Structure 1
Amino acid sequence: MSERTQQNRPADQDQSPATKSGRRLAAQLAAKKAADRKRKRNAWASGLAAVAVVGVLITVFVTIGGGSDDKPKNQADATPSATVPAPDEPAAPPAPQLPAGADPALGSKPTVKPGTGELKKLAVTPLIKGTGPAVKQGQNITTNYVGVFFKDGKEFDSSWQSGQPATFPIGVGQVIPGWDQGLVGVTVGSRVQLDIPGELAYGNDAAKAGGRPTGPLRFVVDVLAAQ
């Protein structure tokens, strides 16, 4: 074969089958190494991302936990003890100041029922017997009271609505005759029921009563003080 013919022979014809197989194996090994390096890089990147997420969570937890240290240790001390009524619920009036040794029942508004029959004269019925001194004519007395119509028990007046007991002189004509006559002699700390006919209250004529309740009335009165 001439020199020119040898120079024009394809390069693959100069390689034996063994040489080709070796090159393919080398290429496969190189590709495998490249794939391994890529997996390692991906695994390393995933690990860094996981560490970053954990770091963020720890930072948030520490921030929240640190903020809670600013709150009072005793949560009950920071919370008002009184219950706030709902917007449409009226606030309950404060309990009255009771005399020493008084029955605790005087701290609650009594339920007053209507009377029966025809009321012709003043009737004083003790409901709770107080242990204080007896009320004297001319003294200023402090009372809580509920007033209802004798016949149907419908309430028309009550000091409990405002939570402020009423103070007035007794036995000197400053209140209706039924109170002047019925409360003198009652001991402080007592609760009494006064059944008062119209003529000892505001009268029986609505035209002359000036808008005040007429006819027989029933009052339940708590005597809290007398001076």
Structure 2
Amino acid sequence: MSERTQQTGPDQSPATKSGRRLAAQLAAKKAADRKRKRNAVISGLAAVAVAGVLIGVFVTIGGGGDDKPKNQADATPSATVPAPDEPAAPPAPQLPADADPALKTKPTVKPGTGELKKLAVTPLIKGTGPAVKKGQNITTNYVGVFFKDGKEFDSSWKGGQPVTFPIGVGQVIPGWDQGLVGVTVGSRVQLDIPGELGYGNDPAAAGGRPTGPLRFVVDVIAAQ
């Protein structure tokens, strides 16, 4: 056996060395693949965790908003707070302390019967206050209907506020001037007024106001 053959031996052959290098390369490649997969899994878990935190934050913020008004206008009833530059309306005169409770409710007014030729004043509720005098300012609630069919054409109840005006001095129709002087405060009276003491009988001359015989039910709340 030669000296070269003795030095090389079966474990030092070129084929054996190449196999070892190839095995080492494969092992390194597998280790690198495992490392990449492990890093990818870790990154995925981290992304899921971050997304969960963000979703939790959004849910918390959104859920908290449901318990609060969307804006200040929703929190403050506009009906109870007047505008800063809008003066408060003066309080309406109150009913006399001993007034009939029926004066708090709008009356039902029915049509009249027959032909109305003169003013008729019919007490419906007798008030206990002082009698209305000519020239005083009186405060009233009223309902006006056509005498013949009872169709309503005007009412202070629609606006929710009584009406104040001077009486007996030509500021209202003659049927009111004549029919309400002498009525006691706290009374409810029915006024049946012929056309000539109201707005006349000619629609062309009335300017859109109700003509012909009229019926009013008037509550006298105050007189000053």
Alignment TM class, shorter chain as reference: 0.5 to 0.7
Q: For residues 132-161 of structure 1, what are the alpha-carbon distances to aligned partners after superposition, in whole Å with 9 as ceiling and x for unaligned?
A: 333233322112222221112233333345
Unpaired runs of 5+ in structure 2?
A: none
3-state SS, counterpart of residue 164 of structure 1: coil
Equivalence map 1:95-114=2 (5 Å): 97-103=94-100, 106-114=103-111
TM-score between both structures, scaled by the size of structure 1: 0.61
Matches of 2:8 and 2:183, distance apart in 1: 144
Larger mean CA deviation between 185-194 and 33-42 belongs to 33-42
Matches of 1:17 and 1:106, distance apart in 2: 124
Larger mean CA deviation between 34-43 and 15-24 belongs to 15-24
Maintained 8 Å contact 1:93/1:162: no
Maintained 8 Å contact 1:109/1:160: yes
Maintained 8 Å contact 2:193/2:213: yes
| Structural RMSD (CA) | 6.5
Aligned to 1:2: 2
| Percentage of identical aligned residues | 92
Unpaired runs of 5+ in structure 1?
A: none
Q: CA 1:34/1:216 → structure 2, altered by over 3 Å: closer, same or farther?
A: same
Maintained 8 Å contact 1:134/1:184: yes
3-state SS, counterpart of residue 220 of structure 1: strand
Maintained 8 Å contact 1:96/1:164: no
Larger mean CA deviation between 78-87 and 182-191 belongs to 78-87
Maintained 8 Å contact 1:193/1:221: yes
- Give the deviation of 1:185 after TM superposition: 3.0
3-state SS, counterpart of residue 82 of structure 1: helix
Matches of 1:152 and 1:95, distance apart in 2: 32
Q: For residues 20-43 of structure 1, what are the alpha-carbon distances to aligned partners after superposition, in whole Å with 9 as ceiling and x for unaligned?
A: 999899889948973894387247
Larger mean CA deviation between 184-193 and 139-148 belongs to 184-193
- Give the deviation of 1:217 after TM superposition: 0.5
- Give the deviation of 1:189 after TM superposition: 2.8
